[in-house]
Amino acid sequence: MEKSISHKEVPTAGKPSTPRIVSPTASKMHALVYHGAGKKSWEQTLKPVIMEPTDAVVRILKTTICGTDLHIMKGDLPEVEEGRILGHEGVGIIEETGGAVSNFKKGDHVVISCVTSCGKCEFCKKGMYSHCEKGGWILGYKIDGTQAEYVRIPYADNSLYAIPAGSDEEALVMLSDILPTGFECGVLNGQVKPGDTIAIVGAGPVGMAALLTSQFYTPATIISIDQDDNRLQTAKIFGATHTINSSKENAVDKIMQITHGKGVDTAIEAVGVPATFELCEAIIAAGGHIANIGVHGKSVSLHLETLWSRNITITTRLVDTVTTPMLFKTVQSKRIEPQKLITHRFKIGQIIEAYDTFEHAEKEKALKVILEN
């Protein structure tokens, strides 16, 4: 491919370094650009181009907003540079592919994984795509993301999934992140088993994804905890046997009542604040598993003075997306119906309003929002 000499490379800080190619003749698009904590705008910027032969450029059809984007906007991830296009979820159509992409071609319909993976490095070979030496979670974090009209996807062969004709695109947007996250970081790491008693702290889209996928293993009791009554009501519809509004009742006391003083076999943390992790520490049964999902911006107290003798495990995980192909089948066969998590739909140009709705979820009765291009 010919590389114009009028291009100049603008290096960006952080690793991996991802220079953005700026050409005076480059075509333009609109995108949601982060300008530091609390500041963002929907603005005109450069349309991405193929930079490596393993890249694809995808025209976004549908994208969404993650709780992690809210953490970025709060300043919990200060390493995100000003000028970054946010977003790591979506479905789209391939606009262009680099010469080394063999699984996809222009016009193919794809799900974009929130994790980019080369499929070849030591971590990828271990199934730990999240720590791919050349990728991992970079989209909308270290490189420009999906809350845009177009996005560049590195290592397209391993980071995109083909969408069969006639599929429900909105359901598949949930495969980019929330379903593998709830399942891998929450359910698998939490070792949920038949008959178990589990607590899921946080009834946002990720907590709901853990709720839906935990039921593959038929736990006997599922306690959903949040401060938002509307989300708790939805959790009941999706299979929670008990719900607790922790801003109105004492969650520890209530869980101890439900579990006859034993605590829960698995406590899944799907919020990302110290109080909710500490709640998990307070309710875990002997031999139990605390599975952290939340992105944390502050340190949390580890209560070893009570936990040292309890035979518990604590796990953390950045979603690897290794279960995406399996989850894809469960969505296609309607064993789970994640599109039911969608409460609001916007045109992509209304993304500022969509952020506002997702941020004020209780007032707006919002769960997952869809942005359509």
270 binds Zn ion (CB under 5 A): no
Of 202, 351, 337, 362, which is closest to residue 267 (Cα–Cα)? Answer: 202
- Within 8 A by CB and 6+ apart from 58, the residues are 90, 92, 93, 94, 95, 110, 112, 150, 151, 152, 153, 160
Q: Which string of x and - marks every residue 68-97 that binds ligand NAD (by CB under 6 A)?
A: x-xx--------------------------
Residues making up the chain, counted from first to last: 373
Applying CB under 6 A, among 246, 321, 323, 357 the residue interacting with ligand NAD is 246
177 binds Zn ion (CB under 5 A): yes
Distance of CA 328 to the CA centre of its chain: 15
231 binds ligand NAD (CB under 6 A): yes
227 binds ligand NAD (CB under 6 A): yes
Backbone angles phi, psi at 246, to 5 degrees: -75, -5
Query: What is the residue type of 187?
Result: V
- Contact partner, 118, from Zn ion, ligand NAD, none, Cβ < 5-8 Å per class: Zn ion
**Complex with Zn ion: residue 219 or 272, whichever CB lies closer:** 272
Around Cβ 135, how many Cβ atoms within 10 Å? 27
343 binds ligand NAD (CB under 6 A): no
Region of 167-175, 253-261, 292-300, 338-346 interacting with ligand NAD (CB under 6 A): 292-300
Cα distances from 241 to residues 182, 206, 237, 245, in angstroms, run 18, 18, 9, 14
Region of 44-52, 63-71, 327-335, 365-373 interacting with Zn ion (CB under 5 A): 63-71
295 binds Zn ion (CB under 5 A): no
**Complex with ligand NAD: residue 45 or 234, whichever CB lies closer:** 234
Cα distances from 37 to residues 86, 129, 294, in angstroms, run 13, 28, 19
121 binds ligand NAD (CB under 6 A): no
Applying CB under 5 A, among 57, 115, 118, 179 the residue interacting with Zn ion is 118
Applying CB under 5 A, among 61, 66, 175, 209 the residue interacting with Zn ion is 66
Beta bridge partners of 342: 368
Q: Three-class SS of residue 328?
A: helix
Beta bridge partners of 243: 224
226 binds ligand NAD (CB under 6 A): yes
- Core vs surface per residue 218-251: b (16+ CB within 10 A) or e: ebebbbbbbbbebbbebbeebebebbbbbeeeeb
Contact residues: ligand NAD, CB under 6 A: 66-68, 70-71, 177, 181, 185, 201-207, 225-228, 231, 246, 270-273, 275-276, 293-295, 317-319, 361
Q: Which residues bind Zn ion (CB under 5 A)?
A: 66, 68, 118, 121, 124, 132, 177
